[in-house]
Chains A and B, each alone.
Chain A
Amino acid sequence: MAGLSRDERAWIRAAQAGSVSDLEALFRHHWPRAYRAAYLVVHDHAAAEDIAQEAFLAAVRSLDSFDRDRPFGPWLHRIVINRAIDAARAKTARREVSGESYVAATDPMSMAGGNPFTPTEARAIAAGLVSLPPEQRAVVVLRYLLDYTPGEIAELLELPRGTVNSRLRRGLDALQEQLQEPEA
């Protein structure tokens, strides 16, 4: 994960001084990945919106005490991912699989170009991601969407590094298996 950029530091400083436009810049910069990360873990767009929104509201509440020398992204992502894991666990407990939104989200016809996967493979990987336990899903999302190293993930989720590595390995293996399985 990239460290704190000069822009980000300036946005935070100005937002702390009351600048709405700088807060908006900070928000617009971080929203896409925060929302996407939440969605990929919880697979429910309404829940993802709630989770990302709560994380940003928490950021606003803590803005005045936020240390400008700390990167904002990891702080935000820690909240997003932990809440998304909780929401995904609760959803699993309620046996609510949001199939409709999943199908809409993985419609291969709407995928942008430049992806090496065929539509069938993309669908298989997305389905594989849904089938992972929330904790594995979260680690895969942190590693491959948000670009954290295993060490950073371990710190973010307060897990032993070995646990992170094993979850990553198992997650990738499961996705690989999905790719190799014939389409139902």
Chain B
Amino acid sequence: MKQRDLRNLLLEQPVPGEHTAEERTWDVVRQSFLAREPVPRERRVPWRLLVALAIVAAGIAIGVTPAGSTIADWVRDKLGRDRVVSTEGQQVEPVLVRLPAPGQILTAAPNGVWVVNQDGSKRFVGEYIGATWSPNAQFVAAWNDNELVALDPALTEGNVHWSLARENISAARWAPSGFRVAYLSGASLRVVVGNGADDKLLERRVAPVAPAWRPGEEHVLAYADPDGRIFVVETDTGKVLWRTPRAPLPVALTWLNGEQLAVLTEQRLRIFRAPRQLVSAVDFPRRLFTATGMVGSPDGRELAYAVYSKRDGQGIVFVYNGRQSRQVFSGSGRFRDLAWSPDGRFLLVPWRAADQWLFMRMVGRSRVRVNTDIAGQFAPGEESAGPAAGFPRVEGWCCAEEEPLPPPPAGTGATETGTTETGATETGTAAGG
């Protein structure tokens, strides 16, 4: 075998997908290039000295300026308009009198899962560690370490419709159709029909991040693998529609609408459009910030996300509209479980460090309703465990009006009866509410 012949063979051997991969990659590379912040080359060497001086100056500035001003400067410079909403002079409610928008809030406190009604009343759902709404809030999927249940939240210690025994359950999410529930069991991702039937393994190893169903009646799910790749999969067939390259593990995934997927890692917010085209990105300076949470607005036009300043312990909440981020709040501590009201008019910012819920009006005149002593309302007597020890995690805010159950699509198995591989208790009811 001549070496020249081997060279020709390697050069001429057809490689599948070469040209389509080239176009996809060029899109990604171009977007990354456009999103970067070029450093003027001729200033590179003097910058080293200047950067060192700037770091010293920044350290001094942080020590003498009010908390948050450094963040605000960075936000103004890098992310767009600065619109910090102060809570001073705002309406402060000593207890949860009523929610400012229709719907019910689902929470997970140390003692279990609760529903908060619009009139401020609360109902204990059961001793679970996490929960998620069904699309129209007729059902709740709640879980403990070793059990996933679907129950009726309208009933105190809700009537359980079905249950599944699985290990280390977390991050269940109900599909918009109501006919599927995705959840993590240990490191694996599973999908079960909305009536508890036909529980199946979708992926053996995934990252510990809640999966995200694409809006619509089709059962399309986004999830992250342990290498930080995002997969978008038709769960009924297992077909991978598209996936992204390896990246740091995401903090959260959410669909902006049926077409764009937002992926938040600690250092970057990326928006992808199918198939895997990166349409925009926001980078957070590694040494200064780490992202902590994200949620999409109900109309899919905006998303709220939070970052945490490592230097001064401040959290900042932004709203991103696809073009720019605007800051809506900053305060001490980390903000994680943000929630939009179902009508999109309010953003709930649970502020653990202050033991408050902030309802931030997102349309019209800026307004904040502040509810205090949240931990004490959900877990009285937990004070000995530390400040805000009983502060609940917000699992979702849903829904303004109950809608009728969708008819079960043919072949979904939503009305299937019979024994499942899991031995789940079946009711024959499609939990599509």
Contact = CB atoms under 8 A, between A and B. Distances in A.
A16 B41 CA distance: 8
Given A20-B34, A35-B22, A144-B10, 12 more contacts: A28-B26, A57-B245, A64-B39, A114-B12, A116-B5, A117-B5, A125-B9, A126-B13, A140-B6, A141-B10, A144-B6, A172-B3
17 contacts: A17-B41, A23-B33, A36-B15, A52-B21, A53-B25, A56-B29, A61-B36, A112-B12, A115-B9, A116-B2, A116-B8, A117-B5, A125-B6, A144-B3, A145-B11, A172-B1, A176-B1
Nearest to A126: B13
Interface of A: 15-18, 20, 23-24, 27-28, 31-32, 35-36, 39-40, 45-46, 48-50, 52-54, 56-57, 60-61, 63-65, 101, 104-107, 110-112, 114-117, 122, 125-126, 140-141, 144-145, 147, 172, 175-176, 179
Nearest to B21: A49
A19 B29 CA distance: 13
B17 interface: yes
B30 interface: yes
Given A16-B41, A35-B18, A57 B11 contact: no
Most chain A CB atoms below 10 A, which of B7, B16, B39: B16
A140 to B, nearest CB: 8
A45 B15 contact: yes
A129 to B, nearest CB: 8
Nearest to A56: B29
A141 B11 CA distance: 10
Contacts of B17: 45-46, 49
B307 to A, nearest CB: 20
A50 B14 contact: no
A77 to B, nearest CB: 14
Given A60-B36, A104-B16, A179-B1, A52 B25 contact: yes
A16 B12 CA distance: 33
B10 A45 contact: no
Most chain B CB atoms below 10 A, which of A23, A101, A114, A179: A23
Top 7 A-B pairs, shortest CB-CB distance? A49-B21, A64-B39, A145-B10, A50-B245, A53-B25, A45-B17, A45-B16
B30 A20 contact: yes
Q: Dominant SS at the B interface?
A: helix
Interface residues of B, number: 37
A119 B52 CA distance: 62
A107 B14 CA distance: 8
B28 interface: yes
B364 interface: no
B44 interface: yes
A66 B29 CA distance: 16
Contacts of B32: 57, 60-61
B334 to A, nearest CB: 27
Contacts of B41: 16-17, 64
Contacts of B39: 64-65
Contacts of B3: 144, 172
A27 B10 contact: no
A52 B18 CA distance: 11
Contacts of B12: 111-112, 114-115
B5 A54 contact: no
A145 B10 CA distance: 6
B6 A175 contact: yes
Nearest to A129: B10
Contacts of B34: 20
Contacts of B229: 50
Contacts of A18: 38
Interface string B283-297: 000000000000000
B24 A39 contact: no
